[in-house]
Amino acid sequence: MRILNASGCLDALAAPDVARQLDAFVTKTVTPLPREGSAPPRIAETAHGMLNAIGLANPGRERFLAEHLPRLGELGIPVWVSVGGFCADDYADVAACRQATELPLYAKLSAAHPDVAQVARAVAAAGADGLSLINTLRATALDRGLQPVLARGSGGLSGPVLKPIALHAVNVCAEATALPIVGMGGIESGRDALEFAACGARDIALGTVLFADPGAPARVGSELAAVCADVGVAIPDDVRGLAKSPETVRKVHA
C-alpha cells in the first residue's frame, strides 16, 4: 500500500520534508489557464470537518510545466499530476486523456453521484487505469449572523466526516471494477488506512490530516505496520476486499 497526499492538501515545494515521507506526491489540480481561485474567506473549520472553496487556484498549464514540474522532479519521489477542467475540452487540453497518453490515468470520482459504482464502470470502459475515491462533498456552514462563512457560500467538506462515505464508495467501486483504487477521505491513522484496504483500496491518500500533522505520512505508515500485526496479516494487501458489502454481493448473484 502506497501512501500519497490528497491533491491540494500539500505544497511539496514549500514543505519538501513532508513530501519526502510519501511514496508519491500528487499536485494540486492544474487547469489549462491560470486561476486566481475564490475570494477569501475560502477555508473554514466546522464542528464536523473542514470546508474549503479554494476554487482550483493554480498557475495554469504553461507555468506549471515551465516552473513547477522541473522542481517537483528534484524531490526524488514519483509525481502524479492532477489535471482538471470545467468541460471535456479542458481535459483534452491538459491531458486529452486516454487517446493522448500512455501514462497511467486515474479518474477521481465524487461520492455525490447517486451510483458511484456506475460512474466507476463508465471510466473503466473509457480506459482509466485506476480510481481516486473520494473528493470533498459540497457543504455550507453559517456564522453567528446566519450568513455563509465562506465568501462563495459553499465549499468542499473534508476530514473524518467523509470516512464512512468514502469507505462505502471504495467498497462498491472495488466490487464494480477491477481498477486499482487510491482511497481517501478522513484518513488519520494506520487503522483508517487498513479499513480502506479491507474495502478494496490498493493505495491511500492523506488530505486534511496534513494541515494538523505534517508528520502524518510517516506516522500512518508505521501505525499501518503495527495494526497489520495486530490483526494478524503481513501487509495491508492481505486484507484487500475482505469487507464485502451485502448490497454488492446481492448484485453479483442477481
Ligand X SMILES: Cc1cc2nc3c(=O)[nH]c(=O)nc-3n(C[C@H](O)[C@H](O)[C@H](O)COP(=O)(O)O)c2cc1C
- Site residues, ligand X (CB under 6 A): 6-9, 28-29, 50, 52, 54, 56, 82, 108, 135-136, 156, 158-159, 162, 184-187, 206-208
Q: Which residues contact 40 (CB under 8 A, 6 or more apart)?
A: 151
Establish whether 97 is a catalytic residue: yes
Min CB(206)–ligand X separation in Å: 6
Strands annotated E in 47-113: 49-52, 79-80, 106-109
Q: Find the residue with minimal CB distance to ligand X.
A: 8
Amino acid 34 reads P
Q: List phi, psi (to 5°) of 186.
A: 75, 15
Q: Whose Cβ is closer to ligand X: residue 92's or residue 213's?
A: 213
Min CB(226)–ligand X separation in Å: 21
The total of other beta-carbon atoms located within 10 Å of residue 225's CB is 13
Q: Whose Cβ is closer to ligand X: residue 185's or residue 200's?
A: 185
Min CB(133)–ligand X separation in Å: 8
Min CB(158)–ligand X separation in Å: 3
DSSP single-letter state for residue 149: S
- Name the active-site residue from 97, 173, 199, 228: 97
DSSP single-letter state for residue 37: -
Q: Whose Cβ is closer to ligand X: residue 107's or residue 124's?
A: 107
CA dist 150 to 5, 83, 127, 239, Å? 24, 25, 37, 40
The total of other beta-carbon atoms located within 10 Å of residue 156's CB is 18
Q: Whose Cβ is closer to ligand X: residue 42's or residue 240's?
A: 42
Cα–Cα distance, 6 to 230 (Å, whole number): 27
Q: Which residues are catalytic?
A: 97
